[in-house]
Structure 1
């Protein structure tokens, strides 16, 4: 009996499995500057969470493949196996923990309130009672605003850029979103026509973490081991500092 074809087939199958094991598909968004966005020059995904995922993959001996995904579609993509990992400005909340597993925290921040540039008001949440406000669909901020029940409407948007446009045009009174993302965008592009309300007290402060499917505990362990090593070496802080975080 000639065993060579069987041996060859087995080797090829093992090689394919090894190649697959060395790739990790990472879900990122295009609207999460400076966490995740597309560089206009290279047209490649970039940002703090992109650099972090690349560094984690390198530590694991894997190659990252970045998949541009709407924020609201990140968890469904993870659940259906389209991606292996979420690396974005996503809070590790109890609600999300019911369907995905989160890594150890890598960054913490709260929500921000922004209004039109010509609006000089220094608002807190209760000052906006009865107004129309906006938030990004799928975010914890949207859920928190709706739960308060004090607004005439909480409009939900696919992106922060769309919220900023409607705030600038006076279609809604104010917008809410991730403070570091909004601060970065406003600083980089004053033409957006919005400003941060500096004295606003955030509704909450959350921990950003990477998300993994619940059926991949080994991947979660590898991710956490890489994060721990990067915290010890200072590499984690360097990655976020590179983007002003």
Structure 2
């Protein structure tokens, strides 16, 4: 009996010891979008989500001591997926806004930008502000800070909500939409690839909505948020964040 108890105790000790590294390397599900290049996009060669936000959360996870599993989903479903525990982290081109902060918590921001104005190349006007398009039909991506601001402005006869930014690009490129508003870096990157030759960004336009991108976690998940912020600060100090941005053609900005 003594030998049996000794064996049982040894097995229990082994199981407990084996569980320690497993808990230290927990796998967290990260919601990301397949259509936000260069921040996030679906790499068809590897059938995986890639981009700035994937590189960033991967580096953060290495430093903070957890693993990540990237879950592709539409931008408009990210917050609902987080609050319903389908994912643990949002790492996408998502602005930190007061309305969103009421629902989820955000890390310290790491990049700031505003909306870009997209029009057909046949339209050569030098628009500088939204008022210049008063009464027109314009488009923006559903769930973004831009679409809400455009609707609240009351300037436009209609604000069409699109599922993805490439959908906006296609309609403007084909002349089906007068103008589209979307994340400037994403529009610029897409146009550089040459897939929308009949569309252009209006460089004279000054954005009305400028925001900062952060990583989202569930309300009250203070331990995870603290880990992410601590690792993000280290990566900024080491120049890793700047290297990631440079890899995807963006310059580091003060936030």
Q: TM tier, shorter chain?
A: over 0.9
Q: Structure 1 residues 121 and 17, CA, compared in 2 at 3 Å: closer, same or farther?
A: farther
1:35 alignment counterpart: 39
- Of residues 113, 117, 122, the one that matches 2:121 is 117
Residue 83 (structure 1) shift:
1.0
1:133 alignment counterpart: 138
1:194 alignment counterpart: 199
Structure 1 segments, 4+ long, off by >6 Å, are none
1:53 alignment counterpart: 57
Aligned partners of 1:110 and 1:178 also within 8 Å = yes
Q: Secondary structure at the match of 1:165?
A: helix
1:101 alignment counterpart: 105
- Of residues 13, 18, 22, the one that matches 1:19 is 22
CA RMSD of aligned residues (A): 1.9
Residue 192 (structure 1) shift:
4.9
TM-score, normalised with respect to structure 2: 0.90
Is there any run of 5+ residues in structure 2 with no aligned partner, and where?
A: 251-255
Deviations 1:10-40 (A, max 9, x none): 8547756753552121111011100011223
- Of residues 228, 233, 245, the one that matches 1:228 is 233
Give the Cα separation in 1 of the matches to 2:86 and 2:191.
33
Give the Cα separation in 2 of the matches to 1:6 and 1:75.
45
Which deviates more, 185-194 or 62-71? 185-194
Q: Secondary structure at the match of 1:109?
A: strand
Residue 191 (structure 1) shift:
3.2
TM-score, normalised with respect to structure 1: 0.93
Q: Structure 1 residues 7 and 85, CA, compared in 2 at 3 Å: closer, same or farther?
A: farther
Is there any run of 5+ residues in structure 1 with no aligned partner, and where?
A: none
Give the Cα separation in 1 of the matches to 2:16 and 2:69.
22
1:62 alignment counterpart: 66
1:72 alignment counterpart: 76
Deviations 1:62-96 (A, max 9, x none): 22110001101111111111111111111011100
Q: Secondary structure at the match of 1:91?
A: coil
Q: Secondary structure at the match of 2:125?
A: coil
2:165 alignment counterpart: 160
Matched, 1:44 2:48: yes
Give the Cα separation in 2 of the matches to 1:109 and 1:74.
20
Q: Structure 1 residues 216 and 114, CA, compared in 2 at 3 Å: closer, same or farther?
A: same
Give the Cα separation in 2 of the matches to 1:78 and 1:64.
15
Rg (Cα) greater in structure? 2
Give the Cα separation in 2 of the matches to 1:214 and 1:6.
40
Query: Number of residues paired by the alignment?
Result: 245
Q: Structure 1 residues 7 and 117, CA, compared in 2 at 3 Å: closer, same or farther?
A: farther
